[in-house]
Amino acid sequence: MKPAILLAALALAMPVLVAAQPSRDAALHAFLQERFAEDRSNYADTRYAHGWADLNGDGRSEAFVYLMSGNVCGSGGCDLFIYTPEQNSFYQLARTSVTQPPIRVLNSRTGGWRNIAVGVSGGGTRARTVLLAQRGGTYPDNPSAAPARTLTRIPPGRVVIAADDRGRPLF
């Protein structure tokens, strides 16, 4: 078979091959439905907003999931989960409570991992943006307590979950 004909045949087959694999968003959605399956009956209105960013420079983007549910939200905000792809699933890298979007991945790094900025407000605390730096393979579990620190200005980076993102239904 001539190379041009072989390339044409491969090009025609490629969309079928790519379509056979679920998108990373669909794979994340399926994972989250399984991970939070016990919430389906009591928190059927659960929503989530998500974004992707490579935190450690390994070429694989981590999933940022801002879960909006009566189970994980309070006056201070909701839980932010960070999952890293692992084989055919996801591994929970971090869970940070009482966060508020926007969620930003900063250009700065700590220990080779990108820093994260989240909003903190409510629950009797003044509104502010705090920096979350990776320590010991994870990020702080509460942005209103040390070692998270308040930022006086927003460093360079990009928003992965916008402040006005109302998410999509989980169930």
Structure confidence by residue, pLDDT tens digits, 87-112: 899 999 999 999 999 999 999 999 99
The pLDDT-based confidence of 36 (bands split at 50, 70, 90) is very high
The domain spans of the chain are: 23-169
Q: Is 4 exposed, middle or buried (0-12, 13-18, 19+ CB in 10 A)?
A: exposed
Q: Cα(139)–Cα(79) distance, rounded to whole angstroms?
A: 13
Q: Two tokens at 51?
A: 């974004």
Each residue of 17-31: pLDDT tens digit?
445 557 999 999 999
**DSSP class per residue in 37-106:** GGGTTT-TT-EEEEEEE-SSSSS-PEEEEEEESTTTEETTEEEEEEEEEETTEEEEEEEEEEEEEEEEEE
